[in-house]
Amino acid sequence: MRFVRFGNKGEERPGVVFNDEIKDLSAHLSDLSGAHLDPSFLRSLDQMNLNGLPTVPASTRLGPCVANSGKFICIGLNYSDHAAEAGMDVPPEPIIFMKATSAISGPNDPIELPRGSTHTDWEAELGVIIGRHAKYVSEAEALDHIAGYCVVNDVSEREFQTQRSGQWTKGKSADTFGPVGPWLVTPDEVDNPQNLSINLRVNEVPRQTGTTATMVYPVAYLIAYLSQFMSLHPGDIIATGTPPGVGMGQTPPVYLKPGDQIELSIDGLGTQRQVVVGAGSA
């Protein structure tokens, strides 16, 4: 199934995509968060008469496809070809950093450049949404803890990230730097999370073309690995890394400016479209 959240910012309601329309689920669950993300609960909704649910107007804004995320965990340099374009070695263990949850935004909301930004970049990534508490889980059981998959744009200010001292978080966490969605796609609709094409274009120019097959550390490994260091809770988002083609890796580097249009997609998980706006405009 493909779940969405729709409505004005801060007022989103849960929905499901059925016959290319969005159906309103709010009479049956309060939101896509907490216990409602448990894989068994989401599977139970498949028995519902979706055709009888109210239809949401096609022009309605889509919000982030998950609510109340406690953690937004990112994996750095998880594609060998992206590590190469960044001039860095493939890490011997996954690199973990956090993105502030206040960065989360809808899949088609504007991306606002932070004040003083000159090096804001794009990163198309496979997102994993946790649906069941995970602590010290094995790789064999890791996928059972997934509510669904989604598209993430891990927007990054490279100067803030690499030149302003400290960890990467400060370059990753500006408001609007975490578009998530459009859909939360349940695992039964994703045959193999390690065989998905990822594409991103800026102003119609192809920039990123990759596949999750070249991940250094696959999804199941990442969940098991992270669960050794912290509990994973329903609603937590894992951004699993980006393939090559980021702006920093272009020759010469290309960074985002007001008016730029970004389009990114992953096989079966939908498409995001964002317009870049200046500081304080979003």
Q: What is the DSSP string of the chain?
A: -EEEEESSTT--EEEEEETTEEEE-TTT-S-SSGGGGSHHHHHHGGGS-GGGSPEEPTTSPB--SS-S-S-EEEEES-BHHHHHHTT-PPPSS-EEEE--GGGEE-TTSPEEPPTT-S-EE--EEEEEEE-S-BSS--HHHHGGGEEEEEEEE--EEHHHHHTSSS-GGGGT-STT-EEB-S-EE-GGG-S-TTS-EEEEEETTEEEEEEEGGGBSS-HHHHHHHHTTTS-B-TT-EEE----S--GGGSSS-----TT-EEEEEETTTEEEEEEEE-TT--
The confidence score (pLDDT) of residue 82 equals 73
Domain contains 176: yes
The tens digit of pLDDT for each residue in 101-149 reads 999 999 999 999 999 999 999 999 999 999 999 999 999 999 999 999 9
| In-domain check, residue 206 | yes
52 within some domain: no
pLDDT of residue 281: 57
Report the number of distinct structural domains present in the chain: 1
Whole-model pTM: value is 0.96
Give a yes or no: residue 51 inside a domain: no
Tens digits of residue pLDDT in 56-65: 999 999 999 9
Write out the residue range of the structural domain in which residue 171 sits.
Answer: 63-277
Residue 193, domain member (yes or no) = yes
